[in-house]
Structure 1
Amino acid sequence: MSKAIGIDLGTTYTCVAYMKADNTIEVVKNKREETITPSVVTFENQLTFVGEDAVDRRGKDPKNTIFQVKRFMGRLAADPEIQSRSYPFEIVGSKKGDARIRVTPIGSDGVSKVLCPEQISSAILRYAKAIAERAMGHEVTEAVITVPANFTNTQRQATVDAGEIAGLTVKRIINEPTAAALAYGFGRTVLVYDLGGGTFDVSIVTIDGTDAVVKATQGLTFLGGEDFDRRIFEEAVAQLRKKVTRETFEDLCQDQFEQTIECVKDAIAQSGCATSSIDHVILVGGSSRIPRIRKMLQDIFGNSKLKFDVPADHAVARGAAILAASLTMKNGASEVGRVGGGAVRLADVTPFSLGTDITHDRARVIIPRNTPYPTSVKCGFTNGDDHMDNILFQILEGEKALASENNLLGEVTLECQPRLINENRIMATYSIDENGILHVHVKDEETGKEVQTTVKTSMLTIAERNQMVKDAKKRAATEAVELEKFNVRTLF
């Protein structure tokens, strides 16, 4: 049995799975005997409620019941995607501007606290860890956690931070559609259409024996079933209706459905594959069950290519569990974590281009989007002005032509010999390791001076993260006592 678990940390639901000793995948049931748990958290006095227990409290305590927290991970409070939506709980910005949530738990005498999305997500992950430990019969300390393919470096790091706060060593972050492809294990080229509650992803993956190679990925981080629900609600209110027909619903959301199809077409074009070369289309996520969406995909690929073999709600967690088992293999455990008879070797791709700024606010791409990693790319530069004694390199993520419109991941400054314009010879090397972490090395070819950095774009400082880990452990101990009292009280 694998000691590591796979977790699909979804916007609306979370699912956890692990590989058993017989190499089969087990999807874990929660205390209500359900295989998926609502990604909802309620803070009440000394207790934290997760899943259905939190959903049950949403009506009476909406300001302290947090949902869709995944949409706040690694984002600024001023992000237009956050500002354009209304929530019953209070969203505030930290001193650095990242999105946080203020709660005033019942029984706290009006004392409020500001929590970061990583802390709230960690409560969900801690719950996933607990139900897995109950099912497996031993402590769980390692996990593979899935993220949308279109998550930025900052959002991926936020997910790692959440796992660490929950007491987990995050062995790998894997893209959700890539995980789903592993769950199916076809020895062919597959397109994964993953439409969940809050995000949409599409990836084209070739699985050949033990090798899983991602050809291209596309996605929308703010489009999913929750957005369809919003359209239905707005229509019902506007028309004073109690019911909305399926046809009306599908017409209301047609433009959003078409956005996902455009992503599908873009991914195919970027992969270099012909539509006819796609052997299977794997439908993942609860919203992929919508009939009109299936019809739109059938119009492109034909009915026979659409596959539903693995439950849409379980595929991502099952794939994460396969990778988790593979990553924790020991010498001699040759059968664990295998796809097609061997240990999984995964080659994913970068969701965004990576580069730097050059003169006149222009962005220069060093590693284009959809580049398979691990990889390393070198690029030569020179001084843009006379007599510069140092050169600042901004590390950028994004597709915009203007450097200032891309996501700034970090900066490095290289000391150099003052020379006339275009006389310095500078070499920058961007390397991405198997975990998708970017390493940047910049060297003056003449003097040998060099600087290097590993880009870790956490919204949290090391001190903050360490304190949150301590607080989570302390809260868990307090909750164990308080929950016992609570359970006794609810008997009468």
Structure 2
Amino acid sequence: MHFGIDFGTTRTVIAACDRGNYPVVTCEDPHGDSHDFIPSVVALEGDKLVCGWAAMELRGTPTFTRSFKRALTGRQVTAASPVALGPETRTIGEILDAFAEHIVAHLRRFQEELADSSPIEVTLGVPAHSHHAQRLLTMAAFSRTGITVTGLINEPSAAAFEYTHRHSRTLNSKRKSILVYDLGGGTFDASLVSIDGVGHTIVDTVGRARLGGDDLDEVLADLALTTLGRSADAFSSTARMRLVDEARTAKEAIVPQSRRIVLAVGDDDVTLPVSAFYEAATPLVQETLRAIEPLIGADSLRDTDIAGIYLVGGTTSLPLIAQTLRKKFGHRVHRSPLPSASTAVGLAIAADPDSDFALKDKVSRNIGVFREWDAGSEVTLDPLITPDSPRTATRIYRAAHNVGWFRYGEVGDDFSLIAEVGVPFTPELAALTEDELRSVPVTRQESGPLVHEEVTIDDDGIVSIAIDVDELGLHLRR
């Protein structure tokens, strides 16, 4: 059975493939109530990691943790990177494994209810500007559960599938592109998508790795404290978490007719005008407008081939978002009827082997290697793969030193290290381990061996590195 999984910062939504339909998979909480999402939260029950709705039962305990997925946006994140669960810590690898197993266990129960014993295959969504480590860690965690991960798709690209599936009549020969505006709990992405029938080509994409609904919750919580004349420093971390939780619930309850917000701050209640919250939140919304300016290239949509701006992601349910965009871009701003599920439905369409939809996505990061120039006096990033280049880069050259240190990195909104590879270039050093090579002084040599270096980004955005030194019988893969 095929599924699309939108692993979000605050919520995880699953859609199934069912004979050309893509229903959202519901989940029961411990009280038997049905929901169309699983909270992306974890907590410790004794020494055991619990996830989703079971973890929600532990709200208010010190180890209850929301938005753990934001740890994946760190520049140097690895599976061993620690994540604080209150006074305790667990590695992000442990948390991802537990959460992925929780999600897949739910899929297996869903299959059992349908008497379906076919293998589970899933397509996962990832933020468009997520780096190599985030993609690899996410894919590996779900793969370790025993299911087949058929691919990773950038979230706004998946939402474009859902748009075409639902709104194909809005596209014509003059207006054949859409701009997907995806504001979730933890990230913001936008993609300009050119559509030709069932063919989708990503023209360009922009994003902010740490901008989303979580930040709006913090704004509302701070506004409540300011109104009461209280200092945020006077709150314990548990009390702060409870206040932000209150703010999230209040924010999600806002509708266009709302005029007031009531929050519990400790033992006090505070009433805030919705207009005051909107005023405080507007700078964050304006940041998303500045981000999408390069995709539109004009002050309005009037003289473009963009059929519309499609709002997806749970945070776009806040009326302020659509109001702000419509004020600038007019009636061609459309909010998905299922903003929290749009990406999951698009992923399910992509996962469906009987679907004709096709996607040509675009690399949004620069991949390169740090090289030493001018006898080691200068270090610079040598770009190997750029958004406009082929996805495989090959270099063949003779080694100029006895040891080569290859530090591969990716540059998007920030820099992150992909891998550091030590390669011996003399027969005497060929038998040394990488740790042993670190103590070897780097010296120049004449007529070193021929080096074949190849870097590739696959369709899932994962980088692979191959270095071959045939004269020494060395073949390294990362």
Bin of the TM-score, shorter chain as denominator length: 0.7 to 0.9
Q: Give the letter aligned to residue 454 of structure 2.
A: T
Conserved? CA contact 1:196–1:225, under 8 Å: yes
Cα distance change on mapping 1:101 and 1:371 into 2, 3 Å: farther
- Cα distance in 1 for partners of 2:409, 2:225 equals 43
Give 2:221's aligned amino acid: F
Question: Shift of residue 378 of structure 1?
Answer: 3.2
Distance 1:121 1:219, change over 3 A: farther
Number of the residue aligned with 2:339: 312
2:124 corresponds to: 145
Match of 2:265 in 1: none
Query: Does 2:13 correspond to 1:15?
Result: yes
| Mapped contact 1:379–1:428 kept (Cα < 8 A) | yes
SS in 2 for 1:231: helix
Aligned to 1:160: 139
- 1:433-456, Cα deviation, whole Å (9 max, x unpaired): 2232323344679x69774524xx
Residue 151 of structure 2 aligns with an amino acid whose one-letter code is R
Tell me the alpha carbon deviations over residues 314-355 of structure 1, each in whole angstroms, 9 at most, x when there is no partner: 1111011111123xxxxxxxxx2x2xxx2x332222232101
Percent of aligned pairs with the same residue? Answer: 24
Instruction: Identify the residue that residue 263 of structure 2 maps to in structure 1.
Output: none
Give the corresponding residue for 2:244.
Answer: none
Output aligned runs, 1:12-411, within 5 Å: 12-21=10-19, 23-31=20-28, 32-45=33-46, 49-59=50-60, 62-73=61-72, 75=74, 98-102=81-85, 114-115=90-91, 116-130=94-108, 132-134=110-112, 136-139=114-117, 141-185=120-164, 186=168, 188-240=176-228, 242-268=270-296, 276-303=304-331, 305-326=332-353, 336=354, 338=355, 342=356, 344-359=357-372, 360-368=378-386, 370-371=387-388, 375-379=391-395, 388-399=401-412, 406-411=416-421
Q: Could you report, residue by residue, the CA deviation over 1:68-118 in whole angstroms, capped at 9, with x for unpaired residues?
A: 121123647x98xxxxxxxxxxxxxx9x861234579xxxxxxx7835331
- RMSD across aligned C-alpha pairs, in angstroms? 3.5
Contact 2:15–2:23 (CA under 8 A) maintained in structure 1 = yes
Q: Give the distance between the partners of 1:113 and 1:393, measured in 2 at CA.
A: 32
C-alpha contact 1:415 1:449 (8 A) present in aligned 2: no
Q: Secondary structure at 2:352's aligned position in 1?
A: helix
Code of the residue aligned with 1:121 in structure 2: it is F
TM-score (norm 2): 0.73
Instruction: Provide the C-alpha distance between the structure 2 equivalents of 1:400 and 1:71, rounded to a whole number of angstroms.
Output: 15
CA contact (8 A) 1:231 1:252 kept: yes
C-alpha displacement at 1:119, in angstroms? Answer: 2.9
Q: Please give the alpha-carbon distance, in whole angstroms, between the structure 2 residues aligned to 1:182 and 1:48.
A: 35
1:291-332 superposed Cα distances (whole Å, 9 cap, x missing partner): 3332332345332x2223541011111011111123xxxxxx
| Alpha-carbon distance, 1:230 to partner | 0.7
Distance 1:437 1:121 in 2: 21
Deviation digits for residues 430-480 of structure 1 (CA, Å, limit 9, x no counterpart): 2222232323344679x69774524xxxxxxxxxxxxxxxxxxxxxxxxxx
Q: How many residues align?
A: 400
Secondary structure of the equivalent of 1:57?
coil
* 3-state SS of paired residue (1:43): strand
Consecutive unaligned residues in structure 1, runs of 5 or more: 80-93, 105-111, 327-335, 455-492
Between the aligned partners of 1:319 and 1:103, the Cα distance in structure 2 is 35
Q: Which residue of 1 aligns with 2:257?
A: none
SS at match of 1:27: coil
Q: CA deviation at 1:39?
A: 1.7
Structure-2 separation of matches of 1:145 and 1:275: 35
1:330 — aligned with what?
Answer: none
